[in-house]
Structures are given as structure tokens and as C-alpha cells.
Amino acid sequence: MALLTTKRSSSSSKSNLRHKDSRASVGFWESQKLAKEKGYEKKSKKYKLKLESLAIFTQQLASMLEAGLPLVSALEALQDQTEDPVFRVIIREVRTDVSQGNSFSAACAKFPNAFNNLFISMVEAGEASGGLAEILGKVAAYFESTNKLIKKVKSAMTYPVAVIGLAVILVNVLLIFVIPVFADMFNDFGKELPKPTQFLIDLSNWLKGNVLWVIGGGFLLFHIWNRFTKTPKGRRVQDELLFRVPVFGNLLKKITLSRFCRTYATLLRSGVPILRCLEIVSSSSGRTQIEDACRGISKSISEGGQVSETIARISFFPPMMKHMSKAGEQTGNVDGMMNKIADFYDTEADAIIASLTSLIEPMLIVFLGVVVGGIVMAMFLPIFELSSVAGG
């Protein structure tokens, strides 16, 4: 009997230990989950949402509102289906604010890195006019068109940047590791080397002895330039240089003008006051030329002038844009004309990107052939001379 009692007490103690272990395990995972959630909440205030994700969110929200779903329910549905944990926290906080009686625009304004000025201002206009779903649809279409253009430019730039980077690495490998082998062999010739060969050998010797200084200097120059371009003067210098780059500068200008016109037209059509439109266009452009233009247009309008008059005085804007904006004011269809201008520049930008894509490959092949072929020819010149002397 005593033995049976001992066995029962032993089994009950083991069961208690298992329950304690399971509770401890559950508590550990709950604490881990809570710690992650707090980390996401901390990140949410400074979280930079991608334009593609914002476009998808805006389109889905517009579709739900058009279907008659209340705003809080729509936000709850988007929160459940969002895979990004930080953005899920942001949507949750916005939904909580809206359910407590705050406006949707005010709730979004607490997360300025996730929701840009354009989105918040359009939401404000939609709330004021009672057509939030319609305006969100326009914003989503604008974000999608902008995102498509950005992707096209990135795809056109990826190939040349990758090839040039590979060429730089290849040339450095040749200079540091391959040319010294030839240099040791040429020392036994006892003859003066051709100037191209001697130049490459001298460059190789210098690079081998100063490679760390070169890398460190490159990083230092990049850091200084990065700090400089964050200042007002540095941003202006950078923009001026970018717009002067052959071919790419012209493409960048057309994209900048298209974004200016598209953003201005979208805001104006949604009922945003014109001065507020110019303020948002200026802050979202990222270019000092557009910022200066928006300040000049705002000042002219405040003094009773018209947009077309100021555009006509700014050299950054092409003549076609000046005439189209004036025609829009005369016909009372400024936003329509601005959209047509944006469509025109989008078409021209697409044409430039298509031509660049077809021309870049042969140009890069020629570039690589000249650089690598020149190095190879320079290193084989002494061998050719030696063979000719031997043949003679």
C-alpha cells in the first residue's frame, strides 16, 4: 500500500512538473511575442513605407470604401491581411485613433514617414468633400503610375551600373594581381619598355602600395559628398549637375516635369486649395528647381497673378508647358491640361528609356573592349617587340 502511494505521489509530481514546464514555455513565447510587438511599435514612428506598399494599401482601402464598408472595418481588414509587421502596427494605431473619433487624416499624420504629405492632404480633401473613396482611388492611380515610372528607370540603370562596377573590379584585379607577374618577366628583358606598358606597371606598383589609402579616400570622399548634398547649397549643386548629365539629365528633367504636373493636377482636381497644392508639390518633388518654382508661383498668386505668368518667366519650364498652362486657365481646365502635359512627358521618358536600353549594351561592350583590350595590348607590346627582334 505504501509503495502504491509512493508511485502515485511520484506520478503526480511529474505531472505537476510537466504543467509547470508547459506554463513556463508558454510564458516565454508570450514574453518574446510582446517584446517583438514593442520593437515594432518603436520602429513604427520612423518607419519609411515603400511607395509600392502605400499604393496597394490606398487602392485596397478605396475599393473597400466604395463597396460600402465602414472606414474602421476596412482598416481592420487591411491590418489582418498586411504581412509587414511594422505596417500592421501603424494600421492598428490609425484604426484605434479613428474609432476614438479622430479624423483619418489626423491619425495618418502621426506617421509622416509612412504616409507622405500628398496622401494626408488628399485624405483631408476627401474628408472635407465627403468623397474619400473617390479621392483615394485617384491617389492610388497616381502612386501606381509613379511607381511604374520609377521601376522603368531603375531597370534601365541596373544593367549599366552592374557592368561598370564589374569593369572597375576587373581592372583593379588586373592591375594588382596580373600585371606584377608580367612586370617580373619584363625585368629580365634588359630593354626599355614601351610607354603604355611602363605606365601600367608604374600604376600597378603605386596601387599595390596605396590600395588601402585609395579605398579609405574613396569612402571619405563619398561621406563628404553625402554630407554636403544634405545641405541646401549641396542639394542645389547636385541637382544642377544631374540635369547637365548627357541623356540621363534630359530623362531626369522630363520625369521631374511629369511628376510636377501630375501631382499638381491630382491635388487641384481633388479640391485642395491651390497654395496648399504648390506647398505639397514642392515638398514631394525632391528637386530644388521645382521648389524654387513653387515658391515663385505661390508668391505670384498671392499678389493676384496667374500660374502661367510665373511659369513663363522660369527657364526650367519648356515653352510647351507655358502655352498649355495658359490655355488651361483660359478654358477653365487647368488640371486637365496639366494631366495632358504629364502624359506627354511620360511618353517621352518611356521613349528615352527604350532607346537607352537598346543603345547601352553595345556602348558598354565597346567600353569594356577598349579598357580591358587596351590593358592586354599594353602588356603584350614588349612580347611583340621581342618576337620581332628575334625574327629579324
| Contacts by residues 56-65 (CB-CB < 8 Å, ≥ 24 positions apart) | 57/82, 57/87, 57/91, 58/119, 58/136, 58/139, 58/140, 58/143, 59/136, 59/137, 59/140, 59/144, 61/136, 62/133, 62/134, 62/136, 62/137, 62/139, 62/140, 65/132, 65/133, 65/136
Nearest to 244 by CA among 312, 310, 313, 316: 316
Kindly tell me if the per-residue pLDDT of 137 is higher than 70: yes
Question: pLDDT of 338-386, one tens digit each?
Answer: 889 888 988 888 888 888 777 777 887 888 888 888 888 887 787 776 6
The full set of domains in the chain, from first to last, is: 51-115 (1.20.81.30), 144-392 (1.20.81.30)
Tell me if 106 sits within 8 A of 272, measured CB to CB.
no
- Side-chain-side CA neighbours of 38 within 13 Å: the count stands at 6
Q: Among the listed ranges 7-21, 137-151, 162-176, 197-211, which one has the minimum average pLDDT value?
A: 7-21
Confidence (pTM): 0.72
Higher pLDDT, 347 or 3: 347
In this structure, what is the dihedral angle of CA atoms 78, 84, 90, 92, given to the nearest 10 degrees? 40
Kindly tell me if the per-residue pLDDT of 187 is higher than 80: no
Average pLDDT, the chain: 81
